Structure 1
Amino acid sequence: MFGADKGTPNPLDGKKLAIGIVQARFNEGITDALFNACHAELLALGVQEKNITHVKVPGALEVPVALQALAERDDFDALIALGCIIRGETYHFELVANESGSAVTRLALDYQVPIANAILTTENLEQAVARQEEKGRDAARVAIEMAHLLEDIG
């Protein structure tokens, strides 16, 4: 069993992993904070700077296209999606949230690569600010843990 006490690797040891990060620029103050927290956590967990690829795209709907390009390279143990969608007065929030979320999930399944989805979907800016650092760190940990899990069961 993964993580059992039989000399199996620490599920949060990132030393030998290559991680790709795709960050949306829309709501950039939030997404920069997500990235900074995520990047710092990856480094703290042992991922080497040279093994982190960071790509920026215009918005959450463009994140899956860049994730797919990275997945097709087959150079990454895990990928991370960073973005922020804040509810407005129109249906656009639901469209962007639903389509970006389903595309990220579909890519993970199609390419069998773990993708930590940290595209925030919040009612307002205050909720986004309250979540930006925690979700950035969470995304790093999820990516590393899932990379090890898929390696172990694959």
Structure 2
Amino acid sequence: MTRTDLKVCGPILVSACLLGIYCRYDGRCETDERVMALSKDHVLIPVCPEQLGGLPTPRSAVELLDGRAVTRDGADLTEAFERGVQQVLRVARLTGARAAVLQPRSPSCGRGIIYDGTFSGTRIEGDGALTQCLRAQEFLLLAPDELG
């Protein structure tokens, strides 16, 4: 999957932090110029499932463990993550989006590699909560490094 595959996808959901929106758990953004360049040819729809699920910015870091979204101190934020995923799906339906460019390693948006839930920095194979849902809905999913 590449930038070329996006030509037939219509609007594209994008992790808001990649577009310079300060919504990461630590209050920062991860502006990615490769993602920003997509705006020349595509309508980009910024989404942050964690914010859409009602979580504040900044917020405690979260990792996925046994299908649950938990903080280092054990707080279970799974319901907020599920709400956020449902809100992103609503945005996708309203806009006609069928593709997404997502923030790597995120417990919401990570694709292929996420943190293991121990807060040790260990990475494992897996998808974030939003990515799992979008994959099941057959969205075209890309990470910034796949854009060239």
Indicate the structure whose relative CO is greater, using CA pairs within 8 Å and at least 6 residues apart. 1
- The alignment's TM-score, normalised by the length of structure 2, stands at 0.40
Larger proportion of helix: 1
- The alignment's TM-score, normalised by the length of structure 1, stands at 0.39
Which one has the largest radius of gyration? 1
